[in-house]
């Protein structure tokens, strides 16, 4: 593909209580990029995600997805190209079974039964959820819900995936599994998160948002290792990038390192 996958110009959004969540956002993402969006609470990251898929209508500015303007008449076409994975999986999983949730998007596109089943099978397989098709979504673990939400988006076969805080509330094993799944994806990925270690691992580029504006945009390592920049925007340098981080670990063989063993 040529040209921009996502192009945002002068985007403005103000909530009814007069909170200005987006203040002139300009952003271009090229096909195949993995872009991390970081910033403190209230920076506008989630608002940006909701405007991209038309859940919120900006008061000014423009959005285009692979050249398609995100107008009211085009919103269905935009949502076929750009999928949003919500921060809370329970906002995305609402059908009686996991199969139904993942099939919902393809069915709404008017696809044949065979094509729907193919997409559901492939999406669940990619997310490691084979065999759980008949499960009630509320009976899934937190990590499985995250993977199921992503599977529901992947079944639409979008070109861009926007993930809002994908690792929040996951235990270390679930977080690792989700990151490994995200690494395999070939789509353009935009990931908004406070998990800066995950952003560093997955994204080649980082955009810093603060108070509804883009404060910095550049190569991930350069942005995330810039302590003064991070501090100005109420963020911290990821632990793995701190020069002295190794010095905080106990020496090998100390009692602090020994795994607790249950009594015989």
- In this prediction, residues 8-28 reach a mean pLDDT of 96
- Does residue 6 register a pLDDT over 50? yes
- Does residue 57 register a pLDDT over 50? yes
Q: What confidence tens digit (pLDDT) does each residue in 163-193 have? A: 999 998 889 988 998 999 999 999 999 999 9
Residues spanned by the domain of 168? 6-90+158-245
Is residue 167 within 8 A of residue 191, CB to CB? The reply is no
| 122 found inside a domain | no
Pairing of β 20-29 and β 6-14 = antiparallel
Percent of the chain with pLDDT over 70: 92
| 24 found inside a domain | yes
For residues 135-156, b (16+ Cβ closer than 10 Å) or e, as one string? bebeebeebbbbbbbbbbbbbb
| 149 found inside a domain | no
- Does residue 261 register a pLDDT over 70? no
Q: What confidence tens digit (pLDDT) does each residue in 186-222 have? A: 999 999 999 999 999 999 999 999 999 999 999 999 9
CA 85/CA 176 separation, integer angstroms: 18
Residue 65 has φ and ψ, to the nearest 5°, of -120, 110
**212 closest CA partner among 42, 37, 55:** 42
| 82 found inside a domain | yes
Q: Per the structure, how many domains does the chain have?
A: 1
pTM equals 0.88
| 104 found inside a domain | no
- Does residue 253 register a pLDDT over 80? no
- In this prediction, residues 83-108 reach a mean pLDDT of 93
User: Tokens for 2?
Assistant: 């040529």
Q: With helix as H, strand as E and coil as C, how does the chain read? A: CCCCCEEEEEEEEECCCCCEEEEEEEEEECCCCEEEEECCCCCCHHHHHHHHCCCCCCCEEEEEECCEECCHHHHHHHHHHEEEECCCHHHCCCCCCHHHHHHHHHHHCCCCHHHHHHHHHHHHHHCCCCCCCCCCHHHCCHHHHHHHHHHHHHCCCCCEEEEECCCCCCCHHHHHHHHHHHHHCCCEEEEECCCHHHHHHHCCEEEEEECCEEEEEEEHHHHHCCHHHHHHCCCCCCHHHCCCHHHHCCCCCCHHHCCCCCCC
| 145 found inside a domain | no
Q: What confidence tens digit (pLDDT) does each residue in 112-171 have? A: 999 999 999 999 999 989 999 999 988 898 889 999 999 999 999 999 999 999 998 889
Torsion sign, CA atoms 99, 102, 105, 106: negative
Torsion sign, CA atoms 254, 256, 261, 264: positive
| 199 found inside a domain | yes
CA 151/CA 153 separation, integer angstroms: 5
- Does residue 19 register a pLDDT over 70? yes
| 102 found inside a domain | no
Q: What is the CATH number of the domain that holds 231?
A: 3.40.50.300
């Amino acid at each position: 593909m040529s040209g921009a996958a996502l192009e945002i110009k002068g985007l403005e959004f103000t909530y009814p209580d007069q909170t200005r969540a987006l203040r002139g956002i300009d952003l271009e993402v090229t096909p195949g990029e993995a872009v991390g969006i970081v910033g403190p609470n209230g920076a506008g990251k989630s608002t940006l995600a909701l405007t991209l898929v038309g859940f919120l209508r900006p008061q000014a500015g423009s959005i285009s997805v692979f050249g398609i303007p995100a107008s009211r008449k085009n919103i269905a076409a935009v949502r076929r190209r750009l999928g949003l994975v919500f921060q809370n999986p329970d906002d995305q999983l609402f059908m009686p079974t996991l199969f139904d949730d993942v099939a919902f998007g393809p069915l709404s596109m008017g696809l044949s039964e065979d094509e729907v089943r193919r997409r559901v099978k492939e999406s669940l397989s990619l997310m490691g959820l084979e065999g759980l098709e008949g499960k009630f979504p509320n009976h899934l673990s937190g990590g499985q819900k995250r993977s199921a939400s992503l599977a529901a988006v992947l079944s639409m076969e979008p070109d861009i995936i926007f993930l809002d805080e994908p690792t929040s509330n996951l235990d270390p094993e679930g977080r690792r599994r989700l990151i490994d799944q995200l690494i395999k994806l070939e789509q353009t990925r935009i990931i908004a998160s406070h998990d800066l270690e995950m952003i560093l691992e997955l994204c080649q580029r980082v955009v810093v948002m603060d108070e509804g504006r883009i404060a910095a945009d550049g190569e991930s390592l350069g942005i995330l290792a810039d302590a003064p920049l991070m501090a100005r925007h109420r963020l911290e340098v990821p632990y793995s990038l701190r020069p002295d981080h190794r010095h905080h670990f106990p020496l090998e063989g100390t009692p602090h390192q020994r795994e607790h063993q249950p009594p015989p």
